[in-house]
Amino acid sequence: MEHRPLGRTGIQVSQLCLGTMMLGAGGNPDHEDGARIIHRALDSGINFLDTADAYGESEDVVGKALKRRRDDVVLATKLGLALDEDPNHRGTSRRWVAQAVERSLRRLQTDHIDLYQVHRLDPATGLDETLGALSDLVRAGKVRAIGVSNASGSELVEANWIADRRGHERFATDQPPYSLLTRAIEYDVLPTAQRSGTGVLTYRPLEAGWLSGRFRKGRDVPPSGSQARRERFAAALDPSNPANGVKLDATEALAQLAEQAGLTLVQLATAFPLRHPAVTSVIVGPRTMEHLEGYLAADSVELSEDVLDRIDEIVPPGHTVNVADNMWHTSTTALESTTRRRPAR
C-alpha cells in the first residue's frame, strides 16, 4: 500500500486510514470482531487508525486491539464534541484538553497519541488558548502532532498565523468530508492545504452509504444493518428530501460509470479522493469485515483522465449535490447560507 507524508511531521501514513467510528456500540458491538477488522487492516498494509472520544466504545476497542501492535500504528484520535451533560466536558478549553487527553490515553492503553485532533473548532475558546494547550501536550510527550477537523481554508490560515506569532504548534492536518458527491473542499481547503503543507485526511468517501452500491434508481433500498447508523444519518438517507432525489440521480450515473470502467462503485468512490494531490489519506469506516474488504479492493485502482472527466460531468469540481453534506452546520457555520446573508453580530 502506498504511504504518504502526514503534512510536514515527517511521519509516513498509508493512503487508506482505518476509521473506527463504527466499531463498538455505535455500529458493531462485538469487540472481538472489531479487533479482527483492525488486525486485518494492519495486515493489509494500513498503518493509520483514526478514532475519537465521541465515538462511544471505539477508543476502547482500538486500545484492546493494539496491545501488541501499538508501535506499528500511527494512532489518531479527536476531542471536542460533547460527551455528556456536563458543559465542561466538551470544547477545547485548556481545562478540558488536559482532562480529555488523559481519558483517551487510558482508553487507548498507550502513553502517547500520534495525531491529536480538534473535532470541531470551538467558538467559545480562542484559537490561541486551544493551540497553546495542545502545544503543551506535544512538549510533554503525550502527543506527537496536532490536527483539526472540518476547518475551512480561512480557518487554517488563521490558525497558522496565530501559531507562528505565538510560538505554538501548527495544525499538521485537516479532516474534511470529501466524496464524488461532496466536492466543496476543492474550492479552498485543498488549495490552502497544498500551499501550507497541511495534510488532508478526508472522510465519508461513500457519503453515508449513498456510494456503497445500495442506492440505485428503481430499486428498493435495504435498511442498514445498524440501528445506530440509521439514526445518525436519518436526514442524509431520508428519501422524501428533494435534495436526496437529486443525489440519487447523480449516484445512478456514477454507478453506471463504475460499471463501464470495470469497477465497483465502492472502488470508484474510494479511489476518487485519493487521486487529488492534496489528499494524504482517505478514512474508511467499515462496520464488518466484508465492508473492509470492499475498501481494500480500491487500494490499487487508478482512475484514467477519461473517467475523471466523466465524473466532472456528473458532479462538477467544487460542487456538492446536497449542501448539507458539507457539514458546515456542525463546524464552519459562517459558511451556512443564513449566516452568509445575515452575519452574526
Which residues are paired to 28 by β-bridges?
23
φ, ψ of residue 133 to 5 degrees: the values are -65, -45
268 near 254, Cβ under 8 Å? yes
Domain range 3-340, CATH class: alpha beta
Start-to-end Cα distance in the chain:
49
Backbone torsions φ then ψ of 131, nearest 5 degrees: -65, -35
Percent of the chain with pLDDT over 90: 82
Give the pLDDT confidence of 15-26 residue by residue, as tens digits: 999 999 999 998
Catalytic annotation, pick one of 55, 116, 178, 295: 55
Tell me, what's the pLDDT at 333? 66
Residues facing residue 203 across a β-bridge: 177
Does residue 116 have an active-site annotation?
no
Q: What is the Cα–Cα distance from 238 to 184, expressed in whole angstroms?
A: 22
pLDDT tier at 225, thresholds 50, 70, 90:
low
Contact 138, 145 (CB under 8 A): yes
State yes or no: pLDDT of 244 exceeds 90. no
pTM of the model: 0.92
Residue pLDDT, tens place only, 300-343: 999 999 999 999 999 999 999 998 898 876 666 666 666 666 66
List, for residues 114-153, the tens digit of each pLDDT value: 999 999 999 999 999 999 999 999 999 999 999 999 999 9
Q: For residue 146, what are the β-bridge partners?
A: 116, 171
Instruction: Indicate the DSSP class of residue 320.
Output: B
Sign of CA dihedral 84, 85, 89, 92: positive
